[in-house]
């Protein structure tokens, strides 16, 4: 399964266009534009599984900086500031990584 099986390719493209400039990435806005915020909890867990590059069950900081590239291989890498802000917002237990439940809570808040 790929992200385009769950999300519209045109919505993904629009979300990526919105954050092309360094330090312009807003996770909440990206989730809204891409359509992720309208998906069910089970769909979000499937998206998370696809985004979890090493299939560890968590998205760690080193994976998070490549978040946009998981949607499109030519997308930019998140800046250090964007990565840290995203991690801090979605890491609800402070362990330095995001689990599927953490990302689901973050998307729906």
Is 56 annotated as a binding-site member? yes
**How far is Cα 102 from Cα 73, in angstroms, rounded to an integer?**
25
Q: Is 93 annotated as a binding residue?
A: yes
Q: Determine if residue 18 is labeled as part of a ligand binding site.
A: no
How many Cβ atoms from other residues are within 10 Å of residue 26's Cβ?
Answer: 14
CA distance 15 to 21: 12
Q: Which residues of 79-97 are buried (b: 16+ CB within 10 A; e: fewer)?
A: eeebbebbbeebbeeeeeb
Give me 65's structure tokens.
């900086």
Q: Is 58 annotated as contributing to ligand binding?
A: yes
Does 82 carry a binding-site annotation? no
Does the annotation flag 40 for ligand binding? no
CB 26 within 8 A of CB 11: no
Q: Which residues are annotated as a binding site for Ca(2+)?
A: 52, 54, 56, 58, 63, 91, 93, 95, 97
Q: Which residues are annotated as a binding site?
A: 52, 54, 56, 58, 63, 91, 93, 95, 97
């Amino acid at each position: 399964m790929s992200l385009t099986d769950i999300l519209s390719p045109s919505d993904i493209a629009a979300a990526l266009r919105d954050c092309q400039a360094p330090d312009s990435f807003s996770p909440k806005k990206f989730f809204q534009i891409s359509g992720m915020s309208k998906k069910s909890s089970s769909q979000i867990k499937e998206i998370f599984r696809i985004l979890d590059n090493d299939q560890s069950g968590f998205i760690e900081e080193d994976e998070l900086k490549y978040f946009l590239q998981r949607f499109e291989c030519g997308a930019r890498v998140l800046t250090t500031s964007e990565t840290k802000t995203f991690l801090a917002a979605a890491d609800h237990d402070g362990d330095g990584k995001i689990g599927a439940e953490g990302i689901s809570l973050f998307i729906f808040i």
